[in-house]
Structure 1
Amino acid sequence: MPLDPSAVGRALPVREVTWTDTTSLLYALAVGAGQADPLAELAYTTENTAGVAQQVVPTFAVVLGFGDGMPDVGEYDPTRAVHAEQQLELDGPLPASGAAVATTTVTEMWDKGRDAIVWTETDLVDAGTGRRLSRARTGAFLGGAGGFGGDRGTTPSWELPAGPPDHEVAFTTRPDQALLYRLTGDRNPLHSDPGFAARGGFERPILHGMCTYGFAARLLVGALADGDASRFRSMSGRFTRPVLPGDALALQVWDADEAASFRVVTPAGDVVIDRGTVVVDRG
C-alpha cells in the first residue's frame, strides 16, 4: 500500500521525556563540542567547571522530541527515507536536566510525483511548569513513496545573500561521528549498517543530517551570540546532499539584524545544508 493521506492531522500518543546532565553532555560531544579544543567549550562539555555554568546545545530539543522516529504514515522503503528539512523554535534555554511531555502531530504530506515529503510537528512542554520549551517541525523525504494524489506543497522563498559570508568556520567530523551520534537516540541503521546503507544506494553509512545540523547550531551560537546558547531563538535548514563521517565542512553565515542566513558546504563548494535561517537575541 502507498502512503496514507488520512494520517495528516493524526497525533501520536503523548510521551514523557526525561534527561540528565549526562545526556545533554553526550549530545554536545556528538555534535562536535570540544572536538577541536577540549578546553574551548566547557560550558557544553562539563557540568562542574568552576565559574562555568553548563549550557545545552539548542538542537538537543529536536532529539528530546524525536521518540521512535517516523510515525505510521503508510508503507514506504525505509532504506530510502532521509531527513529533508528541520525547523526549530525555542522559548528559552533548555535546562541541562529535566522532564517534559512531547506531543507529535503529522501536519502535511506532499506528493512530489515519484517521491514524497511528510511533515511532523513536535511540541516539548516542561512537565513541571507547563511552559513550552520548543517546537520542532521535521520534513522527511521518502524516496519512491509519491504518486498517492496529494498536494505537491509549497516552499518559502529563500535567496543566498550577495557577497562573501560575514563568518566562515571550517570543521571536520570524526570518522566515528555517526556511531557517537546514534547514542543520542537515532538508531537508524542507515548510519551504521553497511548493508542497509548499500540498499539505499550509499557507498557506506552516512552521517545523520541532524548531526550536521547540530554542528551548525553550536557554531552559529558561537558566531552570532558570543557562545551564549540562551540567546538562541530559532533555526531552519534543508538537507541537500549526504555527508560521510570524517568529511571536512564549513559553516558560512551572512549576518543581519533580524535573521541571519547560513549554509554548510564541502571544501569543493558542494552545499550539504542550504536555505538556512537563524534568529538569536541580539541583547
Structure 2
Amino acid sequence: MPIDVEKLTSAPPVRAAAVWDDRDVRLYHLALGAGVPETDPGELRYLFEGHEQGMQVLPTFGVVAGGGGGVGFQVFDLPGVDIDLAAVLHGGQEITVHRPLPAAARATTVTRVPAVYDKGKAAVIVQESTLLGEDDEPLITQRNQIFVHGEGGFGGDRGPSERLPAPDREPDLVLEIPTLRQQALLYRLTGDWNPLHADPATARRAGYDRPILHGLCSFGMAVKAVTDRLLGGDTSRIAECRTRFAGVFFPGETLRLRIWETGDGYRLTATAADRDDAPVLTDARLTAGRRREVPPEAGAR
C-alpha cells in the first residue's frame, strides 16, 4: 500500500526552514491577481514596499512561505508515503493566525500527520503545520486535508464531518473575480510544482481536459476579496479562515463569491460562473478581529 498509515502517523514532526522576503510576498499576491488596476492604492499595499501603510501580507501566504511547496506539504517527505501526484487533490484548508505575518522572515515549519481517514475510494491525509517566527513563537497554524484517490478501503476511521453550510438567506455581497488563463502557471512559482496544474497530459490522466487551478489560489483570491471589501484591506484583522475545496476551477474562468456577514466574521462560497455556478469552495469562513501588531521583519533578503 503506498500509504503506510501507522508509519505515517507515528513519524516524528518534520522541521524545515522557511525563509522569505518582500519579493516572495509580492509574487504571491500577483499570483492571486493583485495589482488590477495597477495604480489603485488598495492594490499597491500588497505589492509596493513604499506604500504608506507598509506591505500588507495575506495570512494565506503563510501556507506557501519559503517556496518549498507550502507549510504542511512536507508530508511527501515523511516515511510511509509513496503516492502519484496525479491521484492527489487538496480537500480542505484551515488557517489560524496567531500573529500577522511579516513581509520578511527566517522562520521554521513544524509538520506532523495526526490522522489518515478512510473514505472508501480515497484516503484523506490530515496534516497540521505550525509556522514559527524567529523568536520560535507561532505565526500561523494550519491544517489541511489531502484526498488520495484509490487509497481508501483499508478499514480505517472515516473521520469527523466538519460541514459549515452557508446561511439560509440571500448573500450580503456577491463578487465576480476574473482569472487569467496563465493563473496556475503564475501560482506554481510560489512553490507548488504539482504537474496537475501545468501539464495537459497529467491533467488528462487525472480526468480533466486541461490543467486546473490550485485550490489554494482560489482560496487566496477569496480571502483577499473579503479583506479588501469588508476589512478595509487590513490583513492583520484576520484571525482564522477555512474552506473545503468542493470542485475544480479552470484558469481563465470567473470566480463568483457569495458572502454573508455573521456575528464573528463572514461565511462564503465560491462557484465557477462560466459553468452554471459549479461549486468551487464551500464550508468557508473568515473570522475577523481587531487590528493586531505585525512582528518586525527579520531582515531576510
What TM-score bracket applies, with the shorter chain setting the length? Answer: over 0.9
User: Given the superposition, is the C-alpha separation of residues 38 and 266 from structure 1 closer, same or farther in structure 2, using an over 3 Å criterion?
Assistant: farther
SS in 1 for 2:14: coil
The one of 114, 117, 125 equivalent to 2:121 is 114
Q: Deviations over 1:212-270 (max 9, x none)?
A: 01101111212331110010110110001111111111111110121421111122222
Deviation of 1:36 (Å):
4.8
CA contact (8 A) 1:85 1:236 kept: yes
1:203 and 2:205 are equivalent in the alignment: no
- Take 1:13 and 1:243, find their aligned partners in 2: how far apart are those partners? 31
- Take 1:25 and 1:157, find their aligned partners in 2: how far apart are those partners? 33
Per the alignment, residue 5 of structure 1 pairs with: 5
| Bigger mean CA offset, 109-118 vs 1-10 | 1-10
Q: Which runs of 5+ in 2 are unaligned?
A: 66-70, 292-301
- The size of the alignment, in residue pairs, is 281
Per the alignment, residue 298 of structure 2 pairs with: none
Q: Which runs of 5+ in 1 are unaligned?
A: none
Write the letter of the residue equivalent to 2:86: T
Q: Deviations over 1:171-216 (max 9, x none)?
A: 0111100110000010111101111111111101111111101101
TM-score relative to the length of structure 2: 0.89
Q: Deviations over 1:90-149 (max 9, x none)?
A: 11211000111100001110101111111000001112x222100010100101111112
User: Given the superposition, is the C-alpha separation of residues 282 and 13 from structure 1 closer, same or farther in structure 2, using an over 3 Å criterion?
Assistant: closer
Per the alignment, residue 160 of structure 2 pairs with: 154
CA contact (8 A) 2:249 2:272 kept: no
Per the alignment, residue 110 of structure 2 pairs with: 103
User: Given the superposition, is the C-alpha separation of residues 74 and 88 from structure 1 closer, same or farther in structure 2, using an over 3 Å criterion?
Assistant: same
Q: How does 1:62-77 map to 2 (within 5 A)?
A: 62-64=63-65, 65-66=71-72, 68=74, 70-72=76-78, 73-77=80-84
1:276 and 2:284 are equivalent in the alignment: yes
Write the letter of the residue equivalent to 1:281: G
Identical pairs, percent: 35
| Bigger mean CA offset, 157-166 vs 170-179 | 157-166
TM-score relative to the length of structure 1: 0.94
Per the alignment, residue 133 of structure 1 pairs with: 139
Deviation of 1:58 (Å):
1.4
Q: How does 1:26-65 map to 2 (within 5 A)?
A: 26-39=27-40, 40-49=42-51, 51-64=52-65, 65=71
| Bigger mean CA offset, 36-45 vs 79-88 | 36-45
CA contact (8 A) 2:15 2:111 kept: yes
- Take 1:70 and 1:38, find their aligned partners in 2: how far apart are those partners? 41
Q: CA RMSD in A?
A: 1.6
